[in-house]
Each structure stands twice: as structure tokens, then as C-alpha cells.
Chains A and B, each alone.
Chain A
Amino acid sequence: MAVKTFRGGAHPPERKERSNEISVERLLDVKQVVVPVNQHFGAPLQALVKVGDVVKRGQKIADAEGRMTVPVHASIAGTVKKIEPRTQSNNTDGPCIVIEALPPPAEGQEPAGSPEDLVEFLPPLDAFSCTKEEALARVRAAGIVGMGGAGFPTHIKLAPSKPISMVIANGAECEPYLTIDERTMIERPEDVVEGVAITMKIVNAPEGVIAVEENKAHAVPLLEKAIQSSPRTRAGMKIRVQLLKTKYPQGGEKMLITAITGKEVPSGGLPMDVGCVVQNIGTLCAMVDAFREGKPLIERGLTISGGACMKPVNVIAPIGALVADILAAGLSQVDEGALRRIIYGGPMMGVAVPSYQIPVQKNTSGVLLMNEEEAKHYDEETCIRCGRCMRACSCRLSPALLAVALETDDYKEAEKIGLLDCIECGTCSFVCPAHRQLVQRFRVGKQILRTMKQKEAQNAR
């Protein structure tokens, strides 16, 4: 198999060997979850429950009208204790629904209700016999969003306005440390294939590709076996595995599409403009669960790792579970003395947070507990114009020149260079020998430029 890739990129230390051979475990007996009301990219939701309500596992607890909304469900059966702002994984405060698990039945007493009374899933649905509308309604009702990081509503992604020729399963997992997608491909290859098939059915795509980076090549035989034995491929669906070079940001949607198809997503456009739909591995499995079991997205797998993590682990936790509780349950272990930085997400794009008393969200792919050495902070030096960022930028944006444009407040030039095309992967900041905060400037610059453009548009009206 020819190994494909994109132009540019970098090779941050992978450090996946810490957790990539550890089977996924499940966090059980959670006493309390803190479920953020807003976990998707789009309009805010309203809580549908109030303090004191008893909720079932899988019951919808927040929703809103509007296209860009995805409901949120209770991940455990219990009592709503509080609805209040809490710190979320993006390090900002947002409304969260705190659910306390029902107390276990006292000695000698019957449980408060049968297990069926504690769980409220949707009825199973066959994705291959239902209509497209029914399928999309199910994807939304199950609360499914892109689980790779952005949290984009999946039912929007699966309703493109252009014909789709290829569905890509994103098994690149290019962020260092993270191994949950790798483990999922190894432990649930049939479901990954089934998820690709369901996606292909919904968007009516003739081809499905499971993209895997070379450092996970050992998952390829398992996936190929699953493809061969899948009833979908026997029925004629075309699904294959594609190996990609291990390189950051290979898992970026645009880089993935370019590596596989050779096409570039047009500036300001979407993957559908080149006939592609890209789905995260976790999202695919969540979709399979949503159809087969009617199970909403109430739990997800994540990797807990890092130099201050003495017991790296891949774990399935209910949405809203605090990482502190995963540690308390003994599934993982932290060296408090060595802990210097906590990151929700990967080291390249994740968010540093002040504590691990923060809930796992639909898009939390990992939590990194980093030690002094990993968390080393570098002072910014002057740009020596070496051009390493220029060659590493996967979007070919000339970061060094973009930074100069932003430092001189020349937003016109910045836009021309392509500020709004920046995918904020952080490769430029990673490769900079002077430790310039390039992507950090671009993030702020993008916000300012967008605001300026909005104001211009308003004034023009």
C-alpha cells in the first residue's frame, strides 16, 4: 500500500507507547457527573430539567430549537442537584447540570426501580432501511457531535448540499500521547467499518476510506479483516484502508483529504466542496451505538497520559465525569508532586486547565498530566527569520510574514496572506527555534479580523 501524506508538517515526539497497548477500561459506579449544557459548535442550549428532578440514563436534559444545535443527555441515572456555571474543558465557565447518582439500595431493600426504569434509550433503528431524514434525525437526537475536538454537529455534516464521493474515517490520531482512536480501531474494528458504512449510506457516497497513520499500522489487518467480513461490503459497499505517513497535523480534516485525494479544500470552503465527509473514529462508533442500541452519546473513550501520569490508561467515561473521579477510582494515577500542567486534549491543540476537577466532554479525546520537563516554558526570543515555520505550515501561510503583518496591525495584508485559512494546528509555534507564539497571535488575529469584517458588513448595509 502506498503511504500517502501532505506537504509540510512536523514530528512532535509521539509518546504513544505509554498507552497504546493498554486495553480500554470502563469507569463504573460514578457518584456524580457534571454535564456541560453546551458541548457542540453552534447555538446555545436550554436545560430541560430543574434542580430536584430525577433523570434516567440517556434522558435528554438540554436542547434548543435551531439547526446548529445538538441535545445533551444524562449520562447516569440520578437526581439533578445543581445547575450552575462550572469550569469546562475549554477553560471557561459555562452552565453545567450536576447529577448525583441514585444512592444504592439499603441493605435488604429492593432497588428503587428495575434497570429499565433507570435507562431511557431511543428505539433501535436500522440505518440501511430507514430514510435519510430519519437517519439524520436519529443522529441529532442521539446528541452526536464530532468527537475529535471541534464538536461540530454531525447531523449537519451528514447533510451536505453537494454530492459526496468519499467518506473518510479519521484514524490518523496525529496528536501525540493520544491512543484512544488506535485502541478503538483495534478493539472495535467491526464498528468502525459499520460506522463508515452508515455514513456512506446517509450521504450516498460510493467509497469509504479508513485513514490510519503508519505508527498504527498494526491496526490495518484487523480493519481489513473487519471490512472483508462486513455484511455491508458483501452487499457491495466499497471500503478500504489507507496508510498515511506519521506526521502532524495529518489528522487535520484538510490535510487528510489532500493526502488521500490530492485535492485541496478551497479557501473558505468545506470538505463537501471536494466531495468528502470526514468522520472521527469515536464519532463513527457513537453512531453505530445510536442506531443499533438507540444509545445517545453519553459516554466516550479518552486517553489519560503524560509524564506525571503514573498509570496511563484508555478509559470509557460517562460524559460529565470528572477526571478527578477517574483517578480516584484507581483507573489511573497521578504523581501530584511532579504534576505541572494539565491539558484537556492533545499537546498540540489541547487546552491547559487549572485542575482536573473538570468534566469529560463529548470532544475530550484525552487528558494529559504533564511533568516539569514536558511543561517546560520557553521565553519568546526575536524572530531570526529562519523560515522553519514557512516550510512546516500545512496551509502554506508564511507564518513569519503573517506574524509581522499582525504585529504591525496590517490586517489587510494578514487577510491576503491567509489568516482566516489558518487551522490553528500550532505546527509553526512547535517548530520555532525562538519559541515565537505564532499560532497564538493568529488565533487572536482571526478573532479581531472577523470582528472587523462583521462591522464592515454592518456599515455597508
Chain B
Amino acid sequence: MPAKGMLLSSSPHSFTPISTSKMMLSVVIALIPAAGYGVYLYGFSALALILVSVASAVISEFVFRKLIKATTTVGDFSAIVTGLLLALILPPATPLWMVALGSMFAIVVAKEFFGGLGANPFNPALIGRAFLLMSFPAAITTWSMPNGLSLADAVSTATPLALVRQGASIGDVATYFGASGTGDLLRQLFMGYRSGSVGESSILLIAAGGLFLILIGVVQWIVPASVILATFLFSWVLGMNPLFSILSGGLVFGAFFMATDYSTRPLTPLGQAIFGAGIGLITVIIRKFGGFPEGVTYSILIMNIATPFLNKMRVKKYGFVPPVKPAKPTKEAGR
């Protein structure tokens, strides 16, 4: 009689083999091409930057959770993802101590202060970048020259968006990067042969990583699609080159890897579509009218605020029956 030792629990008694750590690991894998290309462009310093950022994130999380006597969560790999994401959106020449500080700020202030994984209202990596940008504006806007790209001046350079901010036309930007024309420039941007943050350059490799995540079901298509589509539309409406808007700066990287962050994007399909559209709109507005050449960081952080509200835009449940009350319908009815 086996009465002893039988496990009792409420159904279901079957579980998916997919786990949090596997999902996080797949994000790391999806980022490897973009990160690898960053190392190729900027050499050892980019690799050091990535390693310092990841190490700082992991150590910060481990130490902080030890201090507050919480369970260790380093094993879920989410700190590695945050550290890696932050590294890829920083300029290649960022001093390593700043990188470590930003990564620690991202983990401790933006994530753990709010309760850790899944509870943070703002994207930790973007908070880390915003923190560094506000604290050390000069360092975070100094761009290195990619290997093999021969421009007039020596070490530092400008990003395509910064050039446009300074009043350059797309043609000027093309000339600056040694492209023969607008079409050639767009091709060059797509392939990633330009200055910028460590991991944001090659649209091709970023999109490949993003599509990989969509294909294996870790990320859904709605947010990236609506971000890119909205950016295209609003740039076009405001008389900017829509393709240049998408291919320059960190837009595609943000669309695939930042805006899709689980805890800070809405859960409902309609909420996600509005969220993405909002990111596209705010990005374009910042780029066109704002004080910064780039707006992806702030547009995502601003839309993060709307997430709890957007979560109210639920799909109609199965068998939904509209309320029969004669009261005038509220905006929320049925959502």
C-alpha cells in the first residue's frame, strides 16, 4: 500500500518544459549576433564594456538580494539580459566605471526596488541609460569610429541622427559616411556600417535576433510591428524620410528588445498595439522637435507609464454578453 509518499496537489499535473530561465537565455542568444557585430566594429573595448555591464548587473542583483535577505534569483538569467541590453545601447567608448554604475542603477533602483523580476514598471536597461545620460551627458554622447570606416577626423564621430539634428540633410549624412547616395546610405545603415551604440548598428542582425524570438514564441510580433509601422507613418506625415527614421538610431533595437520587455509592456493585444504606436509617435516627435537627436529611450520609458492603463484594454472574453442595462455605454465596456 503506497499511502505514504504520494504527492498531492491540485490539477494540472502536467507542466510545460519551458521555464523563465530558458526564455531569458533565448533572449541572450538572440542578442549575440548584434553584440558580436559590436565587438567586430569597436574591438576589445566593446567586449570589455559588455562583460563589465553584465557582471555588474549580476553581482548587483546577487548582493542586493542577499542584503534584503530575499531568495537569490541570479539563476533566472534576467540580470544577464538587463546587463547585456544596457551594454548594447551605450556608446562604445563609455568609461567602464560608468558602465558598472549604470548597470547597478538599472538592477537595484529600476528593478529590485520595485520588487524584482516582473514587478518593475520601467525598463531597467533604459533607466540605466537614462541615468547615465543625465549624469554624464558628454560621455554618453561621444561616439567612436567603427573599425574600417575611414572618415575625415580621427577618433570621435557623429551618429547619423546627430548629424540630422545639427541640420544636415540625408544627402549630407550619406556623404559623411562615404555612401554614394540616399539609397546607398540606407543600405549601409541596414547592414550596420555606421557609428552608434555598441549593439544598435546592424539592423539586419538585430532583426534576425528579434525574428528568432518571435519564431520561437518568446516575443510576440504586435509590439515591434506597431513601433516600426508607427515610426514609418509619423515620420512620413512630418516630412521626414521614413526609412531613414527606422534604420537610424536605436529604433529597431528598441522595437525588438526594449519595447517587448515583459514586465513593462502591456499584456493585452490592443494594449500592445497602442503601446507600440505611442513609442513610434513619441520617438518621431522627440527627433523632430526635441532637444535630443535620439528619442527611443525616452519614448519607451514614457509609454511604460501607460502600461497599467493599457492592460485594461482586454479582449472580449469567450461568450461575452454585452450588459443589458440601459445605462449609456462607458468607454471601458466590453474591454
Cβ–Cβ contact A352 & B14, under 8 A: no
**Which residue of B is nearest A379, CB measured?**
B71
Cβ–Cβ contact A357 & B318, under 8 A: no
Q: Contacts of B118 on A, CB cut-off 8 Å?
A: 382-385
Cβ–Cβ contact B22 & A339, under 8 A: no
Q: How far is the CB of B129 from chain A (nearest CB, A)?
A: 22
Instruction: Knowing A370-B13, A385-B262, A433-B23, say if A400 contacts B5 (CB, 8 Å).
Output: no
Q: How far is the CB of A91 from chain B (nearest CB, A)?
A: 7
A100-153 residues at the B interface, CB under 8 angstroms: none
Complex partner residue of B23 from A386, A395, A398, A440, CB under 8 angstroms: A386
Q: Contacts of B23 on A, CB cut-off 8 Å?
A: 384, 386, 433
Task: Check if B134 is an interface residue, CB within 8 A of chain A.
Answer: no
Task: Check if B328 is an interface residue, CB within 8 A of chain A.
Answer: no
Interface residue range, chain B:
35 or more
Q: Contacts of B11 on A, CB cut-off 8 Å?
A: 343, 345, 347-352, 426, 439
Cβ–Cβ contact A434 & B311, under 8 A: no
Bound Cα distance A443, B10 (Å): 10
Bound Cα distance A353, B220 (Å): 39
Instruction: Knowing A348-B11, A352-B13, say if A396 contacts B262 (CB, 8 Å).
Output: no
Instruction: Knowing A339-B2, A357-B1, say if A429 contacts B12 (CB, 8 Å).
Output: yes
Q: How far is the CB of A134 from chain B (nearest CB, A)?
A: 34
User: Which segment of A46-54, A264-272, A294-302, A359-367 sits at the interface?
Assistant: A264-272
Cβ–Cβ contact A350 & B319, under 8 A: no
Bound Cα distance A421, B51 (Å): 49
Cβ–Cβ contact B20 & A395, under 8 A: no
Q: Contacts of B311 on A, CB cut-off 8 Å?
A: 401
Task: Check if B15 is an interface residue, CB within 8 A of chain A.
Answer: yes
Task: Check if A12 is an interface residue, CB within 8 A of chain B.
Answer: yes
Q: Contacts of B119 on A, CB cut-off 8 Å?
A: 382
Complex partner residue of B262 from A386, A394, A432, CB under 8 angstroms: A386
Q: Contacts of B187 on A, CB cut-off 8 Å?
A: none
Q: Contacts of B20 on A, CB cut-off 8 Å?
A: 381, 384, 433-434
Bound Cα distance A217, B313 (Å): 40
Complex partner residue of A377 from B2, B3, B9, B116, CB under 8 angstroms: B9
Task: Check if A197 is an interface residue, CB within 8 A of chain B.
Answer: no
Bound Cα distance A254, B317 (Å): 13
**Which residue of B is nearest A437, CB measured?**
B10
B1-49 residues at the A interface, CB under 8 angstroms: 1-3, 5-16, 18-20, 22-23
Q: Contacts of B5 on A, CB cut-off 8 Å?
A: 340
Bound Cα distance A238, B172 (Å): 75
**Which residue of B is nearest A324, CB measured?**
B1
Instruction: Knowing A348-B14, A390-B268, A434-B20, say if A264 contacts B8 (CB, 8 Å).
Output: no
Q: How far is the CB of B32 from chain A (nearest CB, A)?
A: 21
Over the window 282-293 of chain B, the binary record of Cβ atoms lying under 8 Å from chain A Cβ atoms (1 yes, 0 no) is: 000000000000
Instruction: Knowing A267-B319, A269-B319, say if A12 contacts B7 (CB, 8 Å).
Output: no
Instruction: Knowing A355-B3, A435-B15, say if A266 contacts B220 (CB, 8 Å).
Output: no
Over the window 407-444 of chain A, the binary record of Cβ atoms lying under 8 Å from chain B Cβ atoms (1 yes, 0 no) is: 00000000001100100001101111111010110010
Cβ–Cβ contact B19 & A433, under 8 A: yes
Q: How many pairs of A and B residues are in contact by the CB < 8 Å rule?
A: 163
**Which residue of A is nearest B3, CB measured?**
A355
Q: Contacts of A417 on B, CB cut-off 8 Å?
A: 314, 317
Tell which of A341, A382, A421 has the most Cβ of chain B within 10 Å: A382
**Which residue of A is nearest B314, CB measured?**
A398
Task: Check if B186 is an interface residue, CB within 8 A of chain A.
Answer: no
Q: How far is the CB of B16 from chain A (nearest CB, A)?
A: 5
Task: Check if A354 is an interface residue, CB within 8 A of chain B.
Answer: yes
Q: Is the interface of A mostly helix, strand, loop or mixed?
A: loop
Bound Cα distance A272, B42 (Å): 68
Bound Cα distance A66, B262 (Å): 52
Q: Contacts of A376 on B, CB cut-off 8 Å?
A: 15
Task: Check if A397 is an interface residue, CB within 8 A of chain B.
Answer: yes
Bound Cα distance A269, B16 (Å): 32
Bound Cα distance A383, B119 (Å): 8
Cβ–Cβ contact B317 & A397, under 8 A: yes
Bound Cα distance A386, B76 (Å): 14
Cβ–Cβ contact B314 & A384, under 8 A: no
Task: Check if A176 is an interface residue, CB within 8 A of chain B.
Answer: yes
Q: Contacts of A435 on B, CB cut-off 8 Å?
A: 15, 19
Task: Check if A13 is an interface residue, CB within 8 A of chain B.
Answer: yes
Cβ–Cβ contact B321 & A432, under 8 A: no
Bound Cα distance A185, B262 (Å): 45
Bound Cα distance A355, B6 (Å): 8
Complex partner residue of B7 from A352, A440, A443, CB under 8 angstroms: A352
Bound Cα distance A347, B22 (Å): 24
Cβ–Cβ contact A353 & B8, under 8 A: yes
Q: Contacts of A421 on B, CB cut-off 8 Å?
A: 317-319
Bound Cα distance A342, B1 (Å): 12
Q: Contacts of A418 on B, CB cut-off 8 Å?
A: 317-318
Q: How far is the CB of B258 from chain A (nearest CB, A)?
A: 15
Instruction: Knowing A348-B14, A401-B314, A433-B18, say if A354 contacts B3 (CB, 8 Å).
Output: yes
Over the window 220-247 of chain B, the binary record of Cβ atoms lying under 8 Å from chain A Cβ atoms (1 yes, 0 no) is: 1000000000000000000000000000
**Which residue of B is nearest A263, CB measured?**
B319
Task: Check if B315 is an interface residue, CB within 8 A of chain A.
Answer: yes
Task: Check if B267 is an interface residue, CB within 8 A of chain A.
Answer: yes
Task: Check if B182 is an interface residue, CB within 8 A of chain A.
Answer: no
Q: Contacts of A267 on B, CB cut-off 8 Å?
A: 317-321
Bound Cα distance A280, B7 (Å): 30
Could you list 8 further interchain pairs (A-B, Cβ under 8 angstroms) beyond the known A12-B12, A354-B3, A376-B15?
A: A91-B8, A264-B320, A385-B267, A401-B311, A418-B317, A431-B16, A431-B18, A443-B10
Query: Which residues does B use to contact A, with CB under 8 Å?
Result: 1-3, 5-16, 18-20, 22-23, 76, 78, 115-119, 218, 220, 262-263, 267-268, 311, 314-321
Query: Which residues does A use to contact B, with CB under 8 Å?
Result: 10, 12-13, 91, 176, 254, 258, 264-269, 336, 339-343, 345, 347-357, 368, 370, 374-378, 381-388, 390-391, 394-398, 400-401, 417-418, 421, 426-427, 429-435, 437, 439-440, 443
